[in-house]
Amino acid sequence: MKQHMWIVFGFVAQSMFFLRFFVQWLASEKRKQSVIPISFWWLSLSGGAMLLIYSIYRKDPVFILGQATGVFIYLRNLWFIYGHGKIG
């Protein structure tokens, strides 16, 4: 049962991570130009953090390094957005 819950967690995490691309695509289609909405970074952070947790559970060093790097980048982008008042 425990293994099953981790697999479900991993799929939820991957779905959250996918949604960031979907949100970005919809925002770009709406404006008819490439845009990255703030929700992209929040979905990236939450999906990336969940995938990091999953990769730690799986003890996969390649996946851990990739997701940890991504989480840092997502946090940094949110820092720039909120730190410089560029909301919108």
Residues of the domain holding 71: 2-83
Q: Is the dihedral of CA 54, 57, 59, 61 positive or negative?
A: positive
Kindly indicate the confidence band of residue 3, based on its pLDDT and cuts at 50, 70 and 90.
Answer: confident
- Domain count for the chain, please give it: 1
In a domain, 88, yes or no: no
In a domain, 31, yes or no: yes
In a domain, 14, yes or no: yes
In a domain, 33, yes or no: yes
55-72 pLDDT tens trace: 999 999 999 999 999 999
In a domain, 71, yes or no: yes
Task: With a cut of 80, say whether residue 88 has pLDDT above it.
Answer: no
Q: Could you please report the per-residue DSSP string of 26-77? A: HHHHHHTS----HHHHHHHHHHHHHHHHHHHHHT-HHHHHHHHHHHHHHHHH
In a domain, 6, yes or no: yes
Task: With a cut of 90, say whether residue 11 has pLDDT above it.
Answer: yes
